[in-house]
Structure 1
């Protein structure tokens, strides 16, 4: 049976026992049928990945002891995904896939055509953590609270932002990816409004990009754009050559 892989908020040090997070003890004992002495893999986004053992387990309580550092923590990397707030299932799917695709941060944005006016950040963060455990990445993407598009643009630090702009003449996305780990903005179902596109085009740090000749669903656009970025300038481009 595979070794369970779990995210923790606690510091990871050799021989230093830590409590399992809520739900993890029950998962290890009742679902995975693990017992004292069995191995788990732990990561926290700061201290690398560790092989650990179960030192105690009872119902939903467990104590885990890191023993061996398996992989050191690399510097934070990956594209940033800004995505208009979508319906619950679509938003959860985007967060899961963006985590698997290596996004280092996910920022929900409220636009004129966004269906919801808020997102369940706690639920989305749980989905991101579970996806990070499954895909073997060493961190969980930062997940911001939803914010209006104009507020996001006003507070932007000036770094390049690529905005998907359907139905408007724009440069192909591949040609816009000129630096590693860019930020990508995906609009809602129905797309950005004309005034929103004008506001984006008026910002010197924004490049309007085309995602091809077809109109994509917002969730399809998000994962497609991340895949293109990772293939051209991200970790897909160099993985296996190190």
Structure 2
């Protein structure tokens, strides 16, 4: 029987007692059928991963007794995903898969052809935490509130931003002058693609790296996963 991993923001140290985060007691007791004395793992990017046991549990509350450290904290490479706001199911899926692929930030953006005009950041963050528990990450990506694309670009730093431009002439990501181990970022547009004005604006930005993701037109959620995987394989923590 596998040991449940639970993301927990509390300070983790041997010998301490910590209260379960909202929803964790229900998941452990009702879904996983765990009870007092059963082992869990608690983790966060600040303290690393720790062995713990369920000290007490009831319907909506649980408390953990923290044991020894299993894995020390370690910095994660900066890997950001900017994606045009999608419909709920597609956006949920992107949050889960981006977490598995090592994204440290998920920034929904609003474009002229976005199919949604908002994104539930709290819901997406919860999905990301659940995905981090499953894929054995120590951290989960930050999920920002949806912002207009031009506002995100105006506040951008010097990190190269690879922009998926399937409908334009662009080189594949491997042709870009990206430095292995450096921060990486990917921007994926909406299902209908960027407008001509948005493309012109993007090309004027000195940090933008246009890239093509193969010979086929991809759905936005597919492009997000394919693009992140390509960048991680070429210059990220897969390289």
Give the structure-1-normalised TM-score.
0.95
2:84–2:188: 8 Å Cα contact kept in structure 1?
yes
The match for 1:13 is 13
SS in 1 for 2:42: strand
| Aligned length, in residue pairs | 237
Could you give the per-residue CA deviations for residues 30-79 of structure 1, whole angstroms, max 9, x where no partner exists?
A: 22221211100111221001111111112221111211111111113142
- Judge conservation of contact 2:49–2:73 (CA < 8 Å) in 1: yes
Match of 2:229 in 1: 227
Aligned partners of 2:134, 2:200: CA distance in 1, in Å? Answer: 40
User: Partner of 2:89: helix, strand, or coil?
Assistant: helix
What aligned pairs does 1:60-209 form with structure 2 within 5 A after superposition? 60-176=60-176, 178-179=178-179, 180=181, 181-209=183-211
- Where structure 1 has 5 or more consecutive residues not aligned to the other structure, the ranges are 238-242
Q: Does structure 1 conserve the Cα–Cα contact (< 8 Å) formed by 2:184 and 2:236? A: no
Q: Deviations over 1:67-115 (max 9, x none)?
A: 1111111113142100000111111111110001111111001000001
Offset of 1:158 from its aligned partner? 2.2
* Paired residues of 1:79 and 1:229 also in contact (CA < 8 A): no
Instruction: Compute the displacement of 1:26 (Å).
Output: 1.8
Question: What are structure 2's unaligned runs of at least 5 residues?
Answer: none
* CA distance in 2: counterparts of 1:197 and 1:127, whole angstroms: 31
Q: Which moved more, 1:172-181 or 1:117-126?
A: 172-181
CA distance in 1, matches of 2:57, 2:94: 34
CA distance in 2: counterparts of 1:159 and 1:33, whole angstroms: 46
- Aligned residues of 1:177 and 1:233 also touching (Cα < 8 A): no
SS of 2:238's equivalent in the other structure is: helix
- Measure, in 1, the Cα distance between the counterparts of 2:177 and 2:186: 10
Q: How does 1:38-53 map to 2 (within 5 A)?
A: 38-53=38-53
Normalised by the length of structure 2, the TM-score is 0.96
Structure 1 ranges of 4+ moved more than 2 A: none
Deviation at 1:201, TM superposition (A): 0.2
